[in-house]
Chains A and B, each alone.
Chain A
Amino acid sequence: MIEFRQITKQYGNGPATLQQLSLTFAEHRFTCVLGPSGCGKSTLLNLIAGFMAPSSGQVLLQGQPVRKPGPDRGVVFQDATLFPWMSVLDNVRFGLRQQGLDNNRSTAVAREYLALVGMLPQADALPIRLSGGMRQRVAIARILALRPKVLLMDEPFSALDANSRERLQDELLSICAACPTTVVYITHNVDEAAFLAERVIIMAPAPNNLHADIPLSSPRPRLRSSQEFCRVTGQLRAELDRLPCCIGVSGAKECLGR
């Protein structure tokens, strides 16, 4: 589905962020990417999204090289980046209109997806009237409405309080169960990865960006209090612990090695 072939990415003349990284993401799988700050997680996502080009190597989507951003790869950013001058409904309709849907059709589809994320009652509100969690729901609806092949999520819930974060995680899983999508989900949060992912990739700073690749086979939705869940988070934390900078452990340990 998505294939990284010998990807190297460096910014300007600085050291390489990604070096000779080869990696594939299978269709309809939910992959979480974990790792310390500065190891290239966001770079990885930006390369798939087409926001930047690799310094060398190729990113392929269904065999075709990625050249520029497009609606087949929807991105949910850390900030919702809804357009503040448009109503919630118009924000969702924006992408649909770009695909050539007429007024009525785009409104109907937008309302359908707003209902899916539970935001239909706020359809006419401006984004500033919404809480952070509600904005993120609209941002998700705006992407899902375009029926993307790939859903790219860059720490989408990290700015939210713990309660809304867990509720949105639940909803994200039920949405993915309803309409199977390939998801690449970047996070700092071990619990989040253990709860959501079918596969966890732990990244490390270059030159060996691929630190660990761990399949999580237990069925979803998982119980956050189960023994299995604790075992998985323990395993992930242990892997992260072996890296120079371990946000995954407590956040108190600052970048020791870098």
Chain B
Amino acid sequence: MIRRLTITLLPFLLFLLLWQATALLVEQIRMVPFPTPWQTLERLGQLAAGEPLSDAPLYRHVGDSLLRWLTGFGSGAVAGLLYGLAAGMFNRLEQATGQIVHLLQLIPGLAWVPIAILIFGIGEPATIFMIAMAAFPPVAMTVLAGVRQLDGTYLRAARMLGAGKRALFFQILLPGALPAILSGLRLGMGNSWRVLLAAEMVVGTGTGLGYSIVESRWTLDYTAAFACLVVIALIGVLVEYGLFRPLDKRTRRHYYLEGGQAP
């Protein structure tokens, strides 16, 4: 038990040590203050207590960022899911459009800035568009591959057993592609989270964690920027360990791994 705890905490402690060392070194060599872990924690406490940052309290920045993320990721993921399922079922659709999705995959999220601003102007819709564009390709491609993988095995077996179109879709295709759908969503979420922060930095959104980090440059409040980074990391850990790890474990146990063979 204690051994396990040490192993879990060790990387974290190492990281803090490294951070502290960097802070001391930077202060010595460059003669500029560098927020230490403790200062960051203190500032985080003040912000959490309600002290405004860039004209808004911290929870408002967090809330706005999360809302933007969910809206953008949600629309991109739903589009990706629908596309992946449709292209998986209809060869023609994939032949006609598959390359476009591959191309979208190659465009880094921030490169959408000029396009987003031209289409939507500066503001909320532009950010959400960028986030959606970051979520779409990984979800679409993973789901498509997942459906394709079913083709030779489960779909063929189901057709032989007399399944109609409805049963094929709801009882075979959807549950069969579930592991792929989950891993696609996971990839899309990570992608869109990173783009969200970058987009908030570039497109002046007025609120949000990315916006606050960039704004703290003007007030020289780097400690607040560090506090925002900590919040971002915490959200990431929460989503990973609170949502994806358990979901992934559940589907794996339910499907093939753990004693069985992959299809």
Contact = CB atoms under 8 A, between A and B. Distances in A.
Contacts of B164: 98
B161 interface: yes
B163 A94 contact: yes
A interface, size bucket: 20 to 34
Contacts of B12: none
Contact of B260 (A69, A73, A84, A97): A84
B55 interface: no
Contact of A71 (B161, B167, B171, B258): B161
A85 B254 contact: yes
A160 to B, nearest CB: 13
Contact of A84 (B156, B160, B163, B255): B255
B163 A75 contact: no
A98 B162 CA distance: 6
Given A85-B175, A127-B260, A51 B163 contact: no
Contacts of B184: none
Nearest to A83: B154
A90 to B, nearest CB: 9
Interface in B136-187: 153-154, 156-164, 167, 171-172, 175-176, 178
Contact of A51 (B156, B161, B172, B178): B156
A128 B154 CA distance: 15
Contact of A126 (B158, B176, B254): B254
A68 interface: yes
B263 interface: yes
A70 B263 contact: no
A95 interface: yes
Contacts of B160: 49, 51, 69-71, 73-75
Contacts of A51: 156, 160
A146 interface: yes
A79 B164 CA distance: 23
Nearest to B254: A85
B256 A69 contact: no
B11 interface: no
B173 to A, nearest CB: 11
Nearest to A70: B162
Contact of B171 (A77, A94, A127): A94
B165 to A, nearest CB: 11
Interface in A199-227: none
B159 A68 contact: yes
A31 B124 CA distance: 69
Contacts of A69: 156, 159-160
A41 interface: no
B161 A142 contact: yes
A68 B165 CA distance: 13
Interface of B: 153-154, 156-164, 167, 171-172, 175-176, 178, 254-256, 258-260, 263
26 contacts: A71-B162, A73-B160, A74-B161, A79-B153, A81-B154, A81-B157, A83-B158, A83-B176, A84-B254, A84-B256, A85-B175, A85-B176, A85-B254, A85-B255, A94-B163, A95-B161, A98-B161, A98-B162, A126-B254, A127-B260, A128-B255, A128-B256, A128-B258, A128-B259, A129-B260, A146-B162
Closest 6 CB pairs of A and B: A128-B260, A95-B161, A71-B162, A98-B162, A81-B157, A69-B160
